[in-house]
Structure 1
């Protein structure tokens, strides 16, 4: 892998044989990954440094990328995580007073292979029609072998030999290896924390603990490999509020067995829980629901979501290729309230060991889909009605915006400091294709 000093030829190859020729952007060489597209018009630096994009080649649908350059304040982690970057028109010069270097220089310095001058509109249409797939970017000397141009068939074969995202257990590859603490900040700096939250790093973004710290919460970030004993040791033992948070992250939730069992241990102890993105998928699987791969996923900062607890529509930031398979509406078309399938599996197996709720058959109880994606009705949030736990599929920290979902951190702090008020009032009328009802009528 080398750094391009003058534009060199590059080719993007999809596993279905589709090719797009362009120019090297950033480092030159070869890279592979699952190719996805992001619809964000801004925030490319946050996208590049989001660990959830590990082993993915990101296509930017915005035609002009790089005009604000790169600085040392906006990264969401310590490095660029995307495996490749595809743009149409890279900025020729940087025009932001905050910029410390160009995007091209940053990609090259971190060895990220990219390609520019690609028809990203046609590429995005292809991915929408055929679904995400594996891809490779080849540029510079890697386009030649033994003095002859490499054939497309040879390049496609290499792409098909790359690992798929389905079945990939990747959180351990992006997680911190050492625990660290983020103390309350802003007006809460120097004060006694309102609560302590243990955040399990599955690919956490830097802004997430900051959002909690701004609300007076001490955040102890722990590695993905942590055990329930590690979590309990980090929680306060003086009677002050404590909770657990699962972050965003890459990979297939169906392959994340450790994380699912860890969360079940948290739920069994009735420790307040909040999860986002990958954490939402882990909660779904811990409750017994399935997960599935979306055709082309949700990625960008302009995704509309309905919060069924308030009736408000939020414009939200997304980055996920998997979703939870939970009932959204019942047979009458009203919002469905289902029993956690893990309960049913236990009872079918004759396991009635019970818990401390007084119901010897309800381990996790009732669950409602609290948030729904308005583009495709995908599950975007879960709320447990008999447990202090909830999650959303998107990114409420959204450093690059929008900030419609920031209230979710307030909801979590409320759960920690006033657990008797849980679950939130679900009273807002919900209109579906079949009927208008209320979640409250189904409880």
Structure 2
């Protein structure tokens, strides 16, 4: 941006200060500060409900150069609390573009702090761990900014799934589709719904807290547990519901937060990661085939376990692991038609390595039909 943009800052809770130029709202904005290594797809990132309540640092050196459009968002609005980048392009050019990134973010009062040394910031978050931060105007944090930072809640213990979830059930896909599933919305992305539709599956999307008996009364061919933000162990209403449905031998598929909730449901636990996995370059190994997938991910919590299994959950087998840090990336129940992955198979970072998981779920639906 140009020099007419006001000076701004990002202050982390450990006292580290980063200076830049502020674009958009100038009121103090506080949230957990995380980074993503995606080189493209900024509109999908900023509209992903899994980023709710977070200030997102972009490691790509420039964003905004291809604008925004009406087809790519993963939800109805920007979900991030703030954006930090090295360079925010003053112009955009793309045949699909319908507007600029700064204008689109401004519609949701999302500030952008640009001209920041994002390499230094990312390395700091990698070394120290993600933490809370405040974006404000000027070069020196005001008392108001400091007070806002002190009052910002930790992501640990925070249930954000109920905040982003739909309030009313709705349908997605062709009414005459051969299969029908129910999707619990903990922060579902639109591309997941598009892929279900492409596989001949009609989806009824329901609130995150819908009771199991109401879902079972719909007699679905399967149930999907979506991605979402926040601490999985704070979604205390979900495990009993998931177990009730799973024990009826209804095929179940979980992604991201849904994966974590399945782990908790059957006796496991989750832990907050130092800086999480956010980006489109995460290597994951399929323990059954030995194949390595390059995956897209966005999470700050992980199911505690190893290739040998999940602590406290003997009924769960680990199917995938992350090759960078060994964390659990996939689970399946040993006797029930239930499986889940930590990564996003609907958000292929280039090759469609993980899309066959939708085929696996479709096979489970056919099997149940007999």
Query: When the two structures are superposed, what TM-score results if normalisation uses the length of structure 1?
Result: 0.79
Change (3 A) 1:194 1:307: farther
1:259-338 to structure 2, matched below 5 A, reads 259-328=238-307, 336=308
Distance 1:55 1:122 in 2: 23
CA deviation map 1:199-226 (0-9, x unaligned): 0000000111111111111111111120
Other structure's SS at 2:284 match: strand
Distance 1:290 1:381 in 2: 14
The match for 1:126 among 118, 124, 127 is: 124
Native 8 Å contact 1:56 1:82 kept in 2: yes
Matched, 1:38 2:40: no
1:31-430 to structure 2, matched below 5 A, reads 31-139=29-137, 143=138, 151=141, 155-184=145-174, 192-236=176-220, 242-328=221-307, 336=308, 341=312, 366-398=315-347, 401-419=350-368
Change (3 A) 1:106 1:151: closer
How far the C-alpha of 1:252 sits from its partner, in A, is 0.4
Distance 1:76 1:151 in 2: 34
Q: Rg larger in 1 or in 2?
A: 1
How far the C-alpha of 1:51 sits from its partner, in A, is 0.3
Distance 2:178 2:295 in 1: 27
Native 8 Å contact 1:11 1:19 kept in 2: yes
How far the C-alpha of 1:403 sits from its partner, in A, is 2.3
Distance 2:228 2:38 in 1: 19
How far the C-alpha of 1:405 sits from its partner, in A, is 0.7
Distance 1:337 1:379 in 2: 9
Q: Give every structure 1 segment of 4 or more consecutive aligned residues whose post-TM-superposition deviation is greater than 6 Å.
A: none
Distance 1:151 1:101 in 2: 32
How far the C-alpha of 1:38 sits from its partner, in A, is 0.3
CA deviation map 1:270-329 (0-9, x unaligned): 21100000000000000101100000000011111111222211111100000001232x
How far the C-alpha of 1:6 sits from its partner, in A, is 4.3
Distance 2:93 2:27 in 1: 29
Native 8 Å contact 1:317 1:402 kept in 2: no
Change (3 A) 1:272 1:5: farther
Other structure's SS at 1:234 match: coil
CA deviation map 1:337-383 (0-9, x unaligned): 56x836xxxxxxxxxxxxxxxxxxxxxx6321101111111100101
Native 8 Å contact 1:306 1:314 kept in 2: yes
How far the C-alpha of 1:124 sits from its partner, in A, is 0.2
Native 8 Å contact 1:14 1:135 kept in 2: yes
Other structure's SS at 2:92 match: coil
How far the C-alpha of 1:152 sits from its partner, in A, is 6.2
Other structure's SS at 1:387 match: coil
Alignment RMSD:
2.1
How many residues are treated as equivalent by the alignment? 369
Other structure's SS at 1:34 match: strand
Query: When the two structures are superposed, what TM-score results if normalisation uses the length of structure 2?
Result: 0.95
Change (3 A) 1:402 1:227: farther
- Runs of 5+ consecutive residues of structure 2 not aligned to the other structure: none
Distance 2:351 2:37 in 1: 13
Native 8 Å contact 1:134 1:160 kept in 2: no
How far the C-alpha of 1:158 sits from its partner, in A, is 3.0
- Runs of 5+ consecutive residues of structure 1 not aligned to the other structure: 144-148, 185-189, 237-241, 329-335, 343-364, 422-443
